[in-house]
Amino acid sequence: MNTEILRIQGQDSKTEEMILNLGPQHPSTHGVLRVILKMDGEVITSAQPDVGYLHRGTEKLAENRTYPQMLVISDRWDYLAAMSNNLVWALAVEKLMQIEVPARGQILRVIMVELNRIASHLVFFGTYGIDIGAYTPFLYAFREREKILDLFEEVSGARMTYNYIRIGGVMADLPKDWIGRCRSFLEWMKPRFIEYDTLLTENPIFQDRTKNIGILPQPLAISYGISGPNLRGSSYRFDLRKDAPYCLYEKFNFSIPTGKNGDCWDRYWVRIEEMKESVKIIEQALDLLPEGECNAKVPRIIRPPMGEVYAQIEAPRGMLGIYLVSDGGDKPYRVHVRPPSFINLAVLQEILVGMKVADVIAILGSIDIVLGEVDR
Partner 1 sequence: MLNYFKTIYKVGKSLIQGMLVTWKSFWQPSITVQFPDEKLITPERFRGALTFDKETCTACNLCVKACPTACISLEPAVDPATKKRIAKVSWYQIDFGKCNYCRLCEEACPTKPIKSVRHTHQYEWGMLERKEMFVKWERMSPSTEPSTSGSTNMKPI
Partner 2 sequence: MILPVWNESQKRSALILFGIASAGAGISIAIGEIGARFSKIWQCLSSFALKNSIPTALLTTLSMIIQCSILIGFISGAVMFMVWWERKVSAHMQNRLGPMFTGGWHGWAQTIADAIKLLLKEDIIPAEAKPWVHRLAPIVAFVPAFLCYAALPFGEGLISADLDIGILYIFAISGLSVLGIVMAGWGSGNKYSLLGGLRSAAQSVSYEIPRVLSVVPILMMVGSLKLTSIANVQTGFWRLAGIPLLPRWFIFYPIVGQIAFLIFLISSVAETNRTPFDIAEAESELVAGFHTEYSGMKFSFFFLAEYAYVFLSSGLTTVLFLGGGSGPVLPSWSWFLLKSFAVVFLFLWFRWTFPRLRVDRLMEFTWKFLLPWSFINILITGFILLF
Partner 3 sequence: MTPQEMFSIIQAQYKNITEIPYPQSPHAAPAHEGKPYRDPHLYLQCPSELWLEFANFLKNEENLSFDYLTFVTALDYAKVNPQEPIRIEVVYHLYSFKHRHSIVVKISLQRENPVLSSVIQVWKTSDWQEREVYDMFGVKFEGHPNCSRILMWEGFPGWPLRKDYVHIPDRYDD
Q: Which residues bind partner 1 (CB under 8 A)?
A: 65, 68-70, 72-73, 75, 136, 140, 143, 146, 150, 153-158, 161, 163, 171-172, 175, 195, 198-200, 202-205
Return the residues of window 304-343 that contact partner 3 according to CB under 8 A: 304-310, 312, 319, 321, 323, 325, 327-328, 333-334, 336, 338, 342-343
* Site string (114-133) toward partner 3, x via CB under 8 A: --------------------
158 sits near partner 3 (criterion: CB under 8 A): no
In the complex with partner 1, which residue's Cβ is closer, 65 or 336?
65
In the complex with partner 3, which residue's Cβ is closer, 8 or 306?
306
* Residue of the chain from 222, 256, 353, 357 that contacts partner 3 (CB under 8 A): 222
Determine if residue 45 is left, alpha or beta; phi over 0 gives left, psi from -120 to 50 gives alpha, anything else beta.
alpha
In the complex with partner 2, which residue's Cβ is closer, 5 or 61?
5
In the complex with partner 1, which residue's Cβ is closer, 70 or 367?
70
Q: In angstroms, what is the minimal distance from the CB of 156 to partner 1?
A: 7
27 sits near partner 2 (criterion: CB under 8 A): yes
* Residue of the chain from 6, 8, 72, 139 that contacts partner 2 (CB under 8 A): 139
Q: Where along the sequence are the contacts to partner 3 (CB under 8 A)?
A: 51-52, 55, 57, 59-60, 95-98, 220, 222-225, 236, 238, 243, 303-310, 312, 319, 321, 323, 325, 327-328, 333-334, 336, 338, 342-343, 345-346, 375-376
